[in-house]
Amino acid sequence: LLKLDPADTEDLLRELLSRKPINHLEIAITNDQYRRVLMLSSNTIRYDEQCTILMGLADITKLKQAEAVLQQYATTDEMTGLLNKRSGLLLLNNIFINARESEEDFCVCFIDIDGLKLVNDTYGHEEGDFFIRTVAQVIRSNIKINDSVFRYGGDEIVILLLGCDSKKAKLLFERIQNKLDRISERLKKPYRLQFSYGIASYHDYSVENGEELLAIADREMYKDKQL
- pLDDT, tens digit (0-9, with 9 covering 90-100), for 124-162: 999 999 999 999 999 999 999 999 999 999 999 999 999
Question: Where does the pLDDT of residue 2 fall: very low under 50, low under 70, confident under 90, or very high at 90 and above?
Answer: very low
Question: Do the Cβ atoms of 184 and 195 come closer than 8 Å?
Answer: no
pTM (2 d.p.): 0.75
Where would I find the beta strands (DSSP E) of 86-125?
A: 106-113
CA distance 201 to 222: 17
CB atoms within 10 A of CB 147: 19
Ranges of H-type helices in 76-165: 85-102, 116-123, 125-142
Range ranked top by mean pLDDT from 11-15, 43-47, 56-60, 197-201:
197-201
157/136 Cα distance (integer angstroms): 8
In order of 7, 169, 173, 221, the CA distances from 224 in angstroms are: 57, 14, 12, 5
Least confident residue range of 10-14, 78-82, 150-154, 220-224: 10-14
From CA 11, how far away is CA 5, in angstroms rounded? 10
